[in-house]
Structure 1
Amino acid sequence: MFSTVLVANRGEIAVRVIRTLRELGVRSVAVFSDADADARHVREADTAVRIGPAPAAGSYLSVERVLDAARRTGAQAVHPGYGFLAENAHFARACEEAGLVFIGPPAPAIALMGDKIRAKETVAAAGVPVVPGSSGSGLTDGQLAEAARKIGTPVLLKPSAGGGGKGMRLVRDETLLADEIAAARREARASFGDDTLLVERWIDRPRHIEIQVLADAHGRVVHLGERECSLQRRHQKIIEEAPSVLLDEKTRAAMGEAAVQAARSCGYVGAGTVEFIVPGADPSAYYFMEMNTRLQVEHPVTELVTGLDLVEWQLRVASGEPLPYAQEDITLTGHAVEARVCAEDPARGFLPSGGTVLALREPQGGGVRTDSGLSEGVPVGSAYDPMLSKVIAYGPDRAAALRGLRAALADTVVLGVPTNAGFLRRLLAHPAVAAGDLDTGLVEREAESLVPEGVPEEVYAAAALLRQPFPADASGWTDPFSVPSGWRLGGTPARTFHHLRVPGHDPVRVGVRRGGDGTAELDFGHAGEREEPADACGPLPARPAPEGSRLVEVSDRRVTVELDGLTHTFSRADSPDGVWLGRDGDTWHVLDHDPVEASLSGAARSGADTLAAPMPGTVTVVKVAVGEDVVAGQSLLVVEAMKMEHVISAPHAGTVTELDVTAGATVAMDQVLAVVTPGEEA
């Protein structure tokens, strides 16, 4: 076994690899950019080395800087995690040339399987069924469009390099091929440095099932069963589970053997994943899609049902150990489900979010595991992938695992950064998900129904309740006996209950337990302890407590409430009576002693002609100039954040009268980008 291993990654995967290194007694080396100087993986590693500025191109994607960090710290091997350089054949060769062991497959296997076109040809020759599509690499835009027309829409455009759904485009309308090909090339070039594309037939209502393989350098290859990854948004997996309810033992064995043959066909060594597209109506008609030559984000569900630590076996195989397992030794026990918690705001169309982690609560134990790169006080920016953590639940059967994961997500708090945790919890309760009736389009079809409308009434109640700061004397000291907080000498603070009315809603009973650190926990409709007499609201109807964590941070001018995965902020207004203002998207809600709600639409606030950045990010494309006439819906700019593109379109026909950014500019959320003044007819 190695004595020192450098982890060439960041976030939750770096923390997860460091955990296994610690268990094996191996010294860990972390690398970090300027944006990650205070990150959790930096603090948890034995040694950490700064490798460059925040942009990944000058830090995490710099082969030279990563290798220099390994040389300076005496590392013997490099674990690439996933993303960044994990599937970069040049990096694997550079490690070997530098005398380092790359903890992954040989460079030729990475190069072969990283080229999806060659990969399909190779596995097809080994007898593995593949999806019909274009043939040959280096196709021009015209050749790609012609191949798509021959296959017939709908078709899927895919980058030949890379993975993770980046650059993939589903095209149902033939007239949009040119624009979609250009967009797919841009995303592929930005994500992988290679804009080569291929076209594949789109299989309607497919299921995405992948097989985990493990191979040593002595010729033994085994598979560790399958993972169901059909719950996706924009071709990005968000829920994964093992095993799949779709497969019977015969199909599982056949797909497992196909995955083993695919791995053998490229001389694979280490942990890898063979991905298949499977028609839901006929699981036996499966097709090879691609092979991921690295550890997968969803590897924990396989670890929980097999009892194997995949990172440990990556290390053992890389150090030359043979696998002690034959295929018949691998058994699957119980069921595991994983949810990816991302910095994105479902209420704003799942746009990337950001902010500082003000408070953090992540469940562990009791069949629940959280792999996370988060810590309190650390900012979440737009430079990297939006995934923050993974919450995984294990149970004796699928129903138990789903219940455990829903409960774990309800107990997950990332205060200060809007996340998709609440959305994921609601998705897991969807009847189709509970029944195992999945396909890769289910989330997109149901997404709107899984996003709550407006701000929960409890948020208004919390803001109204907490609008007065703690009383303090001239020295700044607060007398706990003067605060109506339920504080007890030498004991746990009791909850104090209040009845509050928000216009348009039923009365709400809110119980508050205030801590001494400026936070407060809220309960709604909770009975017990000390209750204040009902006010003018009158008798309150019985109401169940809503699911989801409720955590509040309080200061003199600001209240931040986390509820059901969403973060809501209320600030004291600059007015004599000091009302509270709460912002939800483009609507401002005014809260007073007797809360009165008022709103201003985004158009009234900033002007219907004004186009603002929907998220913090970088302007990658500017397609217009000042003075140019545009039509309604015309694409004007592209903003990229967390590896996702967002097109800014003209709200109506008119003339571009103001353009405040250029390509490459960094923009903040709601920053004005352009103004389109309507023409006389409009």
Structure 2
Amino acid sequence: MSKTLSNSVNKAFSKAFDKILIANRGEIAVRIIKTAKALGYQTVAVFSDADADSPHVSLADCAVHIGAANVSESYLDIEKIIAAAKQTGARAIHPGYGLLSENAGFARACQDNQLIFIGPDAGAIELMGNKQAAKEAMLAADIPCIPGYQGAKQDNNTLKSQAETIGFPLMIKAAAGGGGKGMRLAHSLDDIETLFNSARSEALASFGSEQLILERALVNARHIEIQVVRDLHGNCIHLGERDCSMQRRHQKVIEEAPGVNIGNELRNKMGQAAVNVANSCDYLGVGTVEFLLVQDKQEEAFYFLEMNTRLQVEHPVTEMITGIDLVKWQLDIAHGKALPLTQEQVRFDGHAIEARLYSEDPAQHFMPQSGQISFWQSPEDQDQSQENNIRCDHMLTPRAHISRYYDPMLAKIIVWGEDREQARRRLIQALQQSHLHGIRHNKAFLLELANSEAFANQDSENPVHTRFIDDNLTALKSSSQTQLTPEQWALAATLCYFLQSQSLQGKTLQSETKHQLPRPTQGPGLVLSKHMLLHCDSAPAENKQQSVEITPVSQGEHIGDQALYRVHLAKQAFDIAIVNITANRFTCQINGLRQDYYFSQQQEKLNISGQDFDFGITDLSYHSGQSGSDASGTAQGSGQHFAPMNGTVVAVEKSLGDIIEQGEVLFTIEAMKMELPVKASCSGTLSYINLEKNQQVTSGQLLATISDDEKVEQ
């Protein structure tokens, strides 16, 4: 053991800890706290104004309020987090992922304040956090890298010349970047200077650096990452690969382990390369080395992409196939313990897949969603017979508020199977057993991906690559749009009628209690046969409203009796029985077919979900509907422009009285790490504008009007 390494070990032992502060939020904070508490550690949570009622706060032994909802005033404030650790006596800090997890300054601040940072040292974070420096270091260590340019000269003429040498298609990347920001794909020299300038602008805004690198674009490559672990004693092993090729806009959607068509020889080559990467920078703890893998008839080669110096979002699939708790290993390594396994002792069992549930609307350009949840049902809670085959890491409660200030990922649904096909079927099952009401989300999109032939039947000839979703986006998105069937309209009408009847009789439903179904007798304002006009705001224009006639058939007087209804719409009729009902779950039989469904009420809206559908309806017989705007923030058929989502105005491009051309950007709104430019729907004069930079706006708020005359509203 080297003298330096020995000193590091002794230093770690002299700073043993039994209380850990988790410098993060959401599902990863919950996940870390659970393992830490199971191992006997005391835990400290930190929280912002927006997270006061979040699960990680109540789960920890104590929690410290660190500021406003904006991350710059709370979760990214290093001084506040260090102060919280000192206040509570926590001697170690776990950064989770995202936020400060790859911030070298934070790692140094922990060290300067005699706190153990559960992760690598600042030097490794700094090196791997800069794509330019990391690539130069990897080339020096003989790690295969994508051909490109990462030099100091950054003028457009130099970059243009280098682009010609590298060839097209070409990837332009922010040197200090990540998450797809500052990244552009160039197909020729025609508009490359514009792409350089836009990439620089986004890189400067996101990372404080304009530095760019260029790389040959491997358009149909697979995104394969290797989990590595290295201890203070210099022992380093890999835990196999994860295939993260199912991406959208460079953001992972579905991940799995092991990768399809990756044999032991290729696995060992990539694994050894990843170990070499970790050893080259004296890495400490759990990390991930990412490669792009090209597999076709002409070539099988992998190239270094980047190293993530932290725990990954998708780490559970590795845990499922190895039986290793990676957070436990992180804590053990921080104490100075040696790895408990050698490379030869690592075993892989079965197949695991993870799907990310996001609060976003696929039908509306994946726009982030925020607001109040009215119901949440985890797949873990529904089928206890699954043992450890289904896992759900999440930050949700049945009535959680989803803030616009944070990342839109809500939950990770992870499954294990003896083989890939069994795991895929279990993923579909777990998604079907997940129910989330109140905000729009991507569950239907995930189901479409899991059911797609391309995903199901991957082989050496037809692997899914990183552009699969983007290349098939139109077809995939159309499947995510709510198209209510006649049976679903009838189901909604029956439940709506039933609940109105309950309300008029002064009754409330209790959780998990089987109720006597009510006598459908005359109530004030409710006739036995009722005409209903139902509205579904998430449906396409031709499917938004449905006229329904509903008539009770039997009384359902006693517990166990069925309440029977006859429902007419258009030229169809349905016999529907409500067999059983609790506060959020009911069993319904439609023309003889019996199934369970979930529901929740949210002001005037009734949310209903089944295995493969999720929608909200309003009975316009009692409530007046509201017309909305489309995803661009534009009211159809007018010059009015509304806020398309709750968010912050980050740019205002036009002023009152300006002459506007259709398609010009009026303003840009940011929420949940996504910027959405709102473009003019028509040409004319900007006659009304009601916003300024940094202003907070709410979804549906009128912000600008373009008129076809010169009238200007002051």
| TM, length-normalised to structure 1 | 0.87
Indicate whether 1:612 and 2:642 are aligned: yes
Following superposition, the deviation at residue 136 of structure 1 comes to 2.4
Identity across aligned pairs (percent)? Answer: 40
In the other structure, the counterpart of 2:688 is: 658
Distance verdict in 2 for CA 1:477–1:652, change over 3 Å:
closer
Alignment-mate amino acid for residue 567 of structure 2: L
Residue 693 of structure 2 aligns to a residue in which SS?
Answer: coil
Alignment match, 2:525: none
Say whether 1:461 aligns with 2:490.
Answer: yes
Alpha carbons of 1:550 and 1:120: their partners in 2 closer, same or farther (altered >3 Å)?
A: farther
Partner of 1:630: 660
- Indicate the residue corresponding to 2:701 in structure 1: 671
1:11 aligns with 2:13: no
C-alpha contact 1:571 1:582 (8 A) present in aligned 2: no
Offset of residue 464 of structure 1: 2.1
Distance (Å, rounded) in 2 between the aligned partners of 1:655 and 1:385: 36
- Distance in 1 separating the partners of 2:261 and 2:628: 41
Pair 269,602 (structure 1): closer, same or farther in 2 beyond 3 Å = closer
Which deviates further from its counterpart, 623-632 or 13-22?
Answer: 623-632
> Of the candidates 482, 488, 501, which is equivalent to residue 518 of structure 2?
482
Looking at structure 1, the residues matched to 303 and 603 of structure 2 have their Cα atoms a distance apart, in angstroms, of: 59
**Which 5+ residue runs of structure 1 have no aligned equivalent?**
530-544, 588-600
Distance 1:250 1:496, change over 3 A: farther
Larger mean Cα displacement after TM superposition, 326-335 or 230-239: 326-335
Deviations 1:223-268 (A, max 9, x none): 1100000000111000000000131211111111111111111111
CA drift at 1:637: 2.1
- Describe the shift of the 1:426–1:476 C-alpha distance in structure 2 as closer, same or farther (beyond 3 A): closer
Find out whether 1:234 has 2:256 as its counterpart: no
Tell me the equivalent position of 2:374: 358
Secondary structure at the residue paired with 1:136? coil
For residue 533 of structure 1, what is the aligned residue in structure 2?
none
**Counterpart residue number, 1:223:** 238
Contact 2:604 2:623 in 1 (8 A): no
Stretch of structure 1 that moved more, 345-354 or 151-160: 151-160
Is the partner of 2:300 in helix, strand or coil? coil
d(CA) in 2 for partners of 1:486 and 1:248?
64
Pick closer, same or farther for the CA change 1:571–1:141 going to 2, 3 Å. Answer: farther
| Greater alpha carbon shift after TM alignment, 190-199 vs 637-646 | 190-199
CA deviations over 1:593-642 (Å, ceiling 9, x no partner): xxxxxxxx997x66421222222211212222222233332233222111
Structure 2 CA distance for aligned equivalents of residues 511 and 580 of structure 1: 28
User: What letter matches 2:605 in structure 1?
Assistant: R
Match of 1:578 in 2: 622
Match of 2:501 in 1: 470
Partner of residue 341, structure 2:
325
Q: 3-state DSSP class of the match of 2:83?
A: helix
Alpha-carbon displacement from aligned partner over 1:462-491 (angstroms, at most 9, x marks no partner): 4322333134678778995634599786x6
**Any idea what SS the aligned residue of 2:501 has?**
coil
* Residue 35 of structure 2, aligned match among 20, 26, 39: 20
Separation (CA, whole Å) in 2 of partners of 1:174 and 1:497: 69
CA distance in 2, matches of 1:258, 1:639: 42
Moved more, 137-146 or 199-208: 137-146
SS in 2 for 1:35: helix
Q: 1:525-604 counterparts in 2 under 5 A?
A: 525=590, 527=592, 550-554=597-601, 557-562=604-609, 568-573=615-620, 577-578=621-622, 581=625
Deviates more, 1:461-470 or 1:24-33: 461-470
Once the two structures are superposed, residues 276-331 of structure 1 have per-residue CA deviations (whole angstroms, 9 ceiling, x without a partner) of 11123167311101000000000000011111111110111111001122211112
Cα-to-partner distance string for 1:129-166 (whole Å, 9 max, x where unaligned): 11122222583566555644554443323232242334
| Counterpart-to-counterpart distance in 2, 1:256 and 1:275 | 11
Is the contact between residue 466 and residue 554 of structure 1 (CA under 8 Å) also seen in structure 2? no
Q: What residue is the counterpart of 2:404 in the other structure?
A: 382
**Alpha-carbon distance between aligned partners in 2 of 1:119 and 1:486, rounded to the nearest angstrom:** 73
How far is the alpha carbon of 1:438 from its aligned partner?
0.3
Q: After the TM superposition, which of the residue ranges 82-91 and 434-443 deviates more from structure 2? A: 434-443
Q: 1:551 to 1:139 in 2, by over 3 A?
A: farther
Do residues 41 (structure 1) and 88 (structure 2) align? no
Distance (whole Å) between structure 2 residues aligned to residue 551 and residue 305 of structure 1: 32
416, 426, 448: which is aligned to 1:394?
Answer: 416
Q: Deviations over 1:331-352 (max 9, x none)?
A: 2111000000000011212110
Identify the residue that residue 178 of structure 2 maps to in structure 1.
163
Is the alpha carbon distance of 1:257 and 1:487 closer, same or farther for their aligned partners in structure 2, counting shifts above 3 Å? farther
- Matches of 1:495 and 1:152, distance apart in 2: 70
Residues 1:129 and 2:144 aligned together: yes
* Matches of 2:289 and 2:400, distance apart in 1: 36
Q: Is the 8 A contact 1:510 1:522 kept in 2?
A: no
Aligned to 1:595: none
SS at match of 1:285: strand
Change (3 A) 1:632 1:267: same
Asked if 1:338 corresponds to 2:366, the answer is no
Taking a change above 3 Å as real, the CA distance of residues 466 and 170 of structure 1, as seen in their structure-2 partners, is: same
Kept after mapping to 2: 8 A contact 1:512/1:520? no
Aligned length, in residue pairs: 641
Secondary structure (helix, strand or coil) at the match of 1:308 reads coil
Separation (CA, whole Å) in 2 of partners of 1:456 and 1:143 = 56
The secondary structure found in structure 2 opposite 1:389 is strand
Query: 1:500 corresponds to which residue?
Result: 567
Which runs of 5 or more residues in structure 2 are unaligned?
1-15, 510-514, 521-553
Q: Distance in 2 between matches of 1:85 and 1:17?
A: 15
Secondary structure of the structure 2 residue equivalent to 1:466: helix
Q: Distance in 1 between matches of 2:570 and 2:400?
A: 37
Q: Which residue pairs with 1:591 in the alignment?
A: none
Relative to structure 1, is the Cα distance of residues 13 and 251 closer, same or farther in structure 2, using a 3 angstrom cutoff?
same
Q: Distance in 2 between matches of 1:347 and 1:444?
A: 14
Distance 1:508 1:99, change over 3 A: farther
> 1:268 and 2:283 equivalent?
yes
Partner of 1:314: 330
Matching of residue 102 in structure 1 with residue 117 in structure 2? yes
Structure 1 pair 583/652, CA: closer, same or farther in 2 (3 Å)? closer
- Distance in 1 separating the partners of 2:555 and 2:22: 48
Distance 2:194 2:686 in 1: 22
Number of the residue aligned with 1:590: none
1:442 aligns with 2:468: yes
Q: Is the 8 Å Cα contact of residues 628 and 700 (structure 2) preserved in structure 1?
A: no
Q: Which moved more, 1:382-391 or 1:444-453?
A: 444-453
Of 180-189 and 246-255, more deviation after overlay is shown by 180-189
Which one-letter code corresponds to 2:65 in the other structure?
Answer: R
Counterpart-to-counterpart distance in 2, 1:671 and 1:617:
11
Q: C-alpha displacement at 1:363, in angstroms? A: 1.5
Distance 2:429 2:474 in 1: 22
The alignment's TM-score, normalised by the length of structure 2, stands at 0.83
Give the Cα separation in 2 of the matches to 1:615 and 1:331: 47
2:348 & 2:63 partners in 1: Cα distance?
Answer: 37
- The partner residue of 2:310 within 269, 294, 300 is 294
Cα deviation for residue 650 of structure 1 reads 2.1
**1:111 is matched with which residue: 121, 126, 139?**
126
Q: Is the 1:87–1:162 contact (alpha carbons within 8 Å) kept by the matching residues of 2?
A: no
Specify whether residues 432 and 55 from structure 1 end up closer, same or farther in structure 2 by C-alpha distance, changes over 3 A only. Answer: same
SS in 2 for 1:470: helix
Distance (Å, rounded) in 1 between the aligned partners of 2:320 and 2:26: 21
In 2, Cα distance between equivalents of 1:182 and 1:214: 39
User: How many Å apart are 1:448 and its aligned residue?
Assistant: 2.3
RMSD: 3.0
Per-residue CA deviation, residues 31-84 of structure 1 (Å, 9 max, x unaligned), is: 000000000111111111100000000000000001011000100100000000
* Counterpart residue number, 1:521: 586
Q: Which amino acid aligns with 2:280?
A: S
Letter in 2 for 1:467: C
